[in-house]
Amino acid sequence: MTHKKRRIPAAVLALFLVLGILAGCAGRTPDPNVPLPSQTETESPETLPDISSEEAQKAQSTFEDLCKQLFTDQVTQSYLTLHYTLKDPAAYGITDYDISFGDFSREAMEQAHKEQENLYQQVNSIDPALLLDNQKLTYRILMKSLEYEQEAQGLELYYEPLVPSSGIQSQLPVLLTEYAFYDKEDVEHYLTLLSDIDRYFEQILAFEKERSAAGLFMTDTCADEIISQAQPYLLSAEHNLMGTEFNAKIDAMEGLNAEEKKAFKEQNQQVVTEHFIPAYKALLEGLEALKGTGTNAEGICQFPDGKLYYQYLVDSSIGPTYQTMDDLQKAIEDQIDDSLSAMSQIMKQNPEINDELDQFHFSESDPEKILSLLKGAVSEDFPEVNGYEYVTKYVPKELEQSLNPAFFLVPPIDDYKNCTIYINGGSSAGTDTLFTTLAHEGIPGHLYQNVYFLSHCDDPVRKVLSFLGYSEGWAVYSEYYAYTLDTSVSPEVSQIMAYNASAMLGLHALIDLNVNYYGWTQDQVADYLKQFFSIDQEQVAEAIYQAVRSNPSNYVAYYGGYCEIMKMKTEAENTLKEQFQPLRFHQFLLDMGPMPFAVMDRYFKAWLLTYSLGGE
């Protein structure tokens, strides 16, 4: 380890659940035909194929057809996915679909891998040199994504659908209560969908039984936490949020008369009573019965193929430019050290600053005022985004104990200017972090980034490809950037708070990697915290250890994405020096849109070369 011994707060950083984040594209990406420095000596314009030739047009048409089919397949996997992705499916030629939660089974996953392999072969058979510029980028993203998915073949049972606070059992009630009723038919479809939940949960429980038989079941601690968090869903329909939230939405809905509203409420009460509550009851009873069958209370790497699966999780979420896990580990360590060194330097130069840190608070605590402040403050360093609306909502009381501090709910891609941010009023994070939380979830984080790329996107398939490393890396970067946007706080204090937040998240990511890939035990985590960070509290070590082992790679996806962005920013600053402008760097990242960083890397090099030569 490279860390020097420094004392930092022993806080356990809370991460934010982001529901339904979908990847997309932007329209002003660097030209894929701009030669990279390594290409200029071996290629010339004369060697490039004629993209208007008959052969090229055939390749372009074939690729476009593949992308259209992939888009349709992705959004029709379940009706819930379709409804959240498209407000008007018919406008995309989608009129034939089942109203169900889809198929959740090992067999379905294996079939999906076969289809992905077939798609890989089809895409690979196309010469990318024959494609149009925008198609080339999508081609590279698809190929890299499909390569990552090949890593998971045969490891289907390693997937864990049920995770405390962020698993299907926690996300589904939020998605159902926030399900948009655009018209009467949407209400009818919703009730049909909700009636399918018991079948869907039966499949999930059957999958968990297969995991149990394979020795891959969760620990009793995780099972108990899931069971405890889901208790509100067992309340009777009259008191269940699936009833109360539905009734409120129906009351507010225009175009329905009193009799229709009454009928829908009665139908929903029946569905909640006969399907939703029994589904959760059966699932929780099934988990209770499976307790004691878990064989591993340590990191996922302790399972036979756990290390391979962890590698897949990291690759598919980040698409890292780092060649090995050792390289990623070093990048995380270096980013932590940079943050701690910067903190130490500022405190050394400002010995009186401890008093300011003790008094630290943001100027605003009201969500609407915070977002308004952020919207104005980012105008100098971030490209303009206009014409969108947002609302902030508080998580229902029944869900406070089962959800993370906040999350952004991405709107349909054909109605993307209406956004929702949820705040968990019962979170232990409290109001002190609300400013940066809303920067992460809102502006310039998830909300801002999603509206930007959707407003510039003309490639539907990229909107349904998800890359957690990019999405969360950008949101984490935005969160730390926001510390500097409140002018009521001194620059020195703002920087210290941002560096401290970075070090804390980096610490969690490093422990995530060391526990789940390198096999650290809880005792090793405790020893590490004590030796390098002067944290000598067993409950802190246990809390971090349980958090990372119950959700492998989650912290690494967040911080790994952030490290990738900071690596590019540092290279740009060192290369461009006084030429560097945050606005242009941020616009590059937003124009590229969500993708594996391994794909973005070649475009970054081209952008940096063009920028350094004085180009736009």
Quick: pLDDT tens for 354-393.
989 988 999 999 999 999 999 999 999 999 998 899 999 9
Are 451 and 484 members of one domain?
yes
Higher pLDDT, 497 or 3: 497
What span, in angstroms and rounded, lies between the C-alpha atoms of 551 and 562?
Answer: 19
- Judge whether 284 and 167 are in contact, CB under 8 Å: no
The answer to whether residue 336 scores a pLDDT higher than 90 is yes
Q: Compute the residue count for the chain.
A: 616
The answer to whether residue 47 scores a pLDDT higher than 70 is no
Q: Does 14 fall in a domain?
A: no
Judged by DSSP in three states, 114 sits in helix
Judged by DSSP in three states, 392 sits in strand
Are 453 and 548 members of one domain?
yes
Kindly tell me the burial class for residue 514, based on how many C-beta atoms sit within 10 Å of its own C-beta (0-12, 13-18, 19 or more): buried
Q: Is 59 left (phi over 0), alpha (psi -120 to 50) or beta?
A: alpha
The answer to whether residue 519 scores a pLDDT higher than 60 is yes
Q: Kindly indicate the confidence band of residue 616, based on its pLDDT and cuts at 50, 70 and 90.
A: low
pLDDT for 180 = 95
Cα angle 96, 62, 460 (rounded to 5 degrees) comes to: 55
Q: Does 7 fall in a domain?
A: no
Type and span of the H or E element at 471: helix 468-482
CATH number of the CATH domain containing 88: 1.20.58
Give the domain-ending residue among 293, 318, 352: 293
pLDDT for 165 = 84
The answer to whether residue 612 scores a pLDDT higher than 70 is yes
pLDDT tens digits, 254-297: 999 999 999 999 999 999 999 999 999 999 999 999 999 999 99
Short-list 283, 18, 28, 319, CA closest to 147: 319
Asked if the peptide bond before residue 37 counts as cis, ω within 30 degrees of 0, the response is no
pTM for the complete prediction? 0.91
Give the domain-ending residue among 126, 158, 190: 158
pLDDT for 428 = 61
Q: Record the tokens describing residue 179, joined without a space.
A: 């399900």
* Containing structural domain, residue 271: 182-217+220-293
Q: Does 42 fall in a domain?
A: no
Phi, psi of 295 (to 5 degrees): -115, 0
- CB-side exposure of 535: number of CA atoms within 13 Å? 22
pLDDT for 42 = 38
Phi, psi of 380 (to 5 degrees): -80, -40
Q: Does 175 fall in a domain?
A: no
Find the mean pLDDT for residues 90-117.
96
- Judge whether 542 and 522 are in contact, CB under 8 Å: yes
pLDDT tens digits, 289-325: 999 999 999 999 999 999 999 999 999 999 999 999 9
If you ran DSSP here, which 8-state letter would residue 487 be given?
A: T
What span, in angstroms and rounded, lies between the C-alpha atoms of 498 and 387?
Answer: 30
pLDDT for 37 = 36
pLDDT tens digits, 469-516: 999 999 999 999 999 999 999 999 999 999 999 999 999 999 999 999
- Looking at 27-41, 146-160, 512-526, 532-546, which range is the least confident one? 27-41
Q: Kindly indicate the confidence band of residue 60, based on its pLDDT and cuts at 50, 70 and 90.
A: very high
What span, in angstroms and rounded, lies between the C-alpha atoms of 540 and 503?
Answer: 16
Start-to-end CA distance of the chain, whole Å, equals 41
Phi, psi of 231 (to 5 degrees): -60, -35
pLDDT tens digits, 174-186: 999 999 999 999 9
Are 334 and 458 members of one domain?
yes
The answer to whether residue 552 scores a pLDDT higher than 80 is yes
pLDDT for 8 = 29
What is the number of structural domains in the chain?
3
User: What is the dihedral sign for C-alpha 343, 346, 349, 353?
Assistant: negative
SS (H, E, C) 279-346: HHHHHHHHHHHHCCCCCCCCCHHHCCCHHHHHHHHHHHHHCCCCCCHHHHHHHHHHHHHHHHHHHHHH
Are 553 and 595 members of one domain?
yes
Are 345 and 232 members of one domain?
no
What span, in angstroms and rounded, lies between the C-alpha atoms of 472 and 440?
Answer: 9
Are 283 and 407 members of one domain?
no
What span, in angstroms and rounded, lies between the C-alpha atoms of 15 and 249?
Answer: 30
- Looking at 58-67, 207-216, 427-436, which range is the least confident one? 427-436
Q: Record the tokens describing residue 189, joined without a space.
A: 């479809």
pLDDT for 347 = 95
Q: Kindly indicate the confidence band of residue 29, based on its pLDDT and cuts at 50, 70 and 90.
A: very low
Taking only Cα atoms into account, the Rg of the chain, rounded to an integer number of angstroms, comes to: 25
Locate tokens 């650290």: which residue? Answer: 520
Q: Which long-range contacts (CB under 8 A, 24 or more apart) does 345-348 make?
A: 346/492, 346/495, 346/496, 346/499, 347/496
Q: What is the mean pLDDT of the chain?
A: 90
Q: Does 351 fall in a domain?
A: yes
Are 531 and 575 members of one domain?
yes
Q: Kindly indicate the confidence band of residue 429, based on its pLDDT and cuts at 50, 70 and 90.
A: low
Q: Order the strands of the 389-394 sheet from edge to edge.
A: 389-394, 418-423, 406-409
Give exposure, 240-279, as e/b (b: 16+ Cβ within 10 Å): bbbbbbbbebbeebeebeeeeeeebbebbbebbbebbbeb
Are 325 and 211 members of one domain?
no
Q: Does 46 fall in a domain?
A: no
- Judge whether 547 and 12 are in contact, CB under 8 Å: yes
Are 498 and 581 members of one domain?
yes
Are 371 and 475 members of one domain?
yes
- Looking at 193-197, 203-207, 417-421, 479-483, which range is the least confident one? 417-421
Are 468 and 573 members of one domain?
yes
Alpha-carbon separation of residue 376 from 25, 492, 607 (angstroms):
25, 22, 28
pLDDT for 327 = 98
pLDDT tens digits, 394-428: 988 888 877 778 899 989 999 999 999 999 887 66
The answer to whether residue 430 scores a pLDDT higher than 90 is no
Contacts of residue 85, defined as CB under 8 A and 6 or more positions apart, other chains included, come to 22, 75, 412, 413, 463, 464
Q: Does 111 fall in a domain?
A: yes
Q: Enumerate the β-bridge partners of residue 393.
A: 422
pLDDT for 615 = 61
* Secondary-structure percent of the chain, ordered helix, strand, coil, rounded to 5: 60, 5, 35
Contacts of residue 254, defined as CB under 8 A and 6 or more positions apart, other chains included, come to none
Q: Record the tokens describing residue 469, joined without a space.
A: 């490393």
- Looking at 18-22, 128-132, 199-203, 437-441, which range is the least confident one? 18-22
Are 193 and 131 members of one domain?
no
pLDDT for 49 = 85
